[in-house]
Amino acid sequence: MNSHALTCTGITVDFDGFRAVDGVDLTLDRGEVHFLIGPNGAGKTTLVDAVTGLAKYSGSVVKDGVELRGRKVHHIARRGIGRTFQTATVFEQLTVAQNLDIAAGAGRSPWSLLRRRKALPDQVVAVMEQIGLAGHAQTPAGILAHGQKQWLEIGMLLVGDADVLLLDEPIAGMGHEERDTTGRLLHAIAETRAVAVVEHDMDFMRAFASRVTVLHAGRVLAAGSVDEVANDPRVQEVYLGAANEQETIDAATA
Ligand SMILES: Nc1ncnc2c1ncn2[C@@H]1O[C@H](COP(=O)(O)OP(=O)(O)OP(=O)(O)O)[C@@H](O)[C@H]1O
């Protein structure tokens, strides 16, 4: 019996003959915040695109015993796989509560969505609390701080009952305090769900990763705990190589 929240096997994505993801195996488990790291162009976002139905792939993605390859994006979302993008996609004119209510009602009929409701569903209230926006229920999403928008977007996945969350650089543009709050939020969410984070920020990764998968040139270069991957000479070479290259570029363009 497969107890992983999500099992990806041999994921391969080709773009006009260019292999962006090359035979990647990845499992996500409830209880962990799993970081996907790797240099630019390693294939991280394309892998997430494949899992969420946005990129065609060969291989297999299985959730709760169901094969998801070939399924439409909305079907995959309904199966409980939620995803955020680098730029938050909240409804800016609507309030925090309305954004969450709509996300919670994704499965409701248009009539029940239009009907004026006396109170917010308990689940919306609980999630607002969890993402730290309980005091902003009536604030239009458009005027939230950058970090708060990201939290709202994560909240929208939670009320939509996603139990596998794939987050693309959730702390980009955040200050120190917001990063820490986000890291703690991700761990609270991971108590009952699986959370995967595509990330470039190594300090954030060190502080909050339960497990790390390193991609390079479309393949899994290493996987394990923070210490295991940080001490892996192949990982060091890829990152140091990239740093040296950047230094060379900086020196050449100085
Ligand atoms: N639609 C596309 N058509 C052609 N090539 C693409 C397409 N999308 C991505 N690629 C290429 O696939 C490779 C992997 O890109 P991807 O965005 O998945 O990498 P990444 O690891 O997420 O990088 P970054 O950290 O810079 O976001 C890159 O070489 C990219 O140029």
Write out the DSSP string of 165-223.
Answer: EEEESTTTT--HHHHHHHHHHHHHHHTTSEEEEE---HHHHHHH-SEEEEEETTEEEEE
Find the helix packing angle between 146-159 and 176-190, rounded to 10°. Answer: 10
Residue 240 CA to ligand 1 centre (angstroms): 21
Give the containing element (helix H, strand E) for 66. strand 66-67
pLDDT in tens, 34-45: 999 999 999 999
Q: What is the mean pLDDT of residues 99-125?
A: 73
Beta carbon of 20 within 6 Å of any ligand 1 atom: yes
d(CA 91, CA 100): 10
Terminal Cα-to-Cα distance of the chain (whole angstroms): 58
pLDDT in tens, 72-96: 999 999 999 999 987 768 999 999 9
Residue 208 CA to ligand 1 centre (angstroms): 25
Look up the pTM and report it: 0.89
Nearest to 144 by CA among 120, 123, 168, 174: 174
ipTM for the predicted complex comes to 0.96
Beta carbon of 41 within 6 Å of any ligand 1 atom: yes
Q: Which atom of ligand 1 is nearest to the CA of 40?
A: 26
Question: Quick one: CATH architecture of 6-87+162-253?
Answer: 3-Layer(aba) Sandwich (3.40)
Residue nearest to atom 24 of ligand 1 (CA): 40
d(CA 182, CA 207): 11
Give buried/exposed letters for 176-215 (b at 16+ CB in 10 A, else e). eebbebbbebbeebbeebbbbbbbebeebbeebbbbbbbb
Residue 41 CA to ligand 1 centre (angstroms): 5
Residue 157 CA to ligand 1 centre (angstroms): 24
Give the containing element (helix H, strand E) for 102. helix 96-104
Residue 21 CA to ligand 1 centre (angstroms): 9
pLDDT in tens, 191-231: 999 999 999 899 999 999 999 999 999 999 999 999 999 99
Select from 44, 46, 48, 219 the residue to mutate for testing ligand 1; criterion: most ligand atoms less than 8 Å from CB: 46
Least confidently predicted of 110-114, 157-161, 162-166: 110-114
Beta carbon of 40 within 6 Å of any ligand 1 atom: yes
Give the containing element (helix H, strand E) for 7. strand 6-15
Q: Name 123's Cβ contacts closer than 8 Å, sequence gap at least 6.
A: 104, 159
Select from 21, 45, 166, 168 the residue to mutate for testing ligand 1; criterion: most ligand atoms less than 8 Å from CB: 45
Residue nearest to atom 28 of ligand 1 (CA): 41
Note the pLDDT of residue 75. Answer: 93
Residue 44 CA to ligand 1 centre (angstroms): 8
Q: Which atom of ligand 1 is nearest to the CA of 21?
A: 14
For residue 186, what are the β-bridge partners?
A: none
Query: Dihedral, CA atoms, 38, 43, 49, 55, nearest 10 degrees?
Result: 180
Strands 211-216 and 33-37: what pairing?
parallel
Residue 247 CA to ligand 1 centre (angstroms): 23
Strands 194-198 and 33-37: what pairing?
parallel
Neighbouring CB atoms inside 10 A of 146's CB total: 13
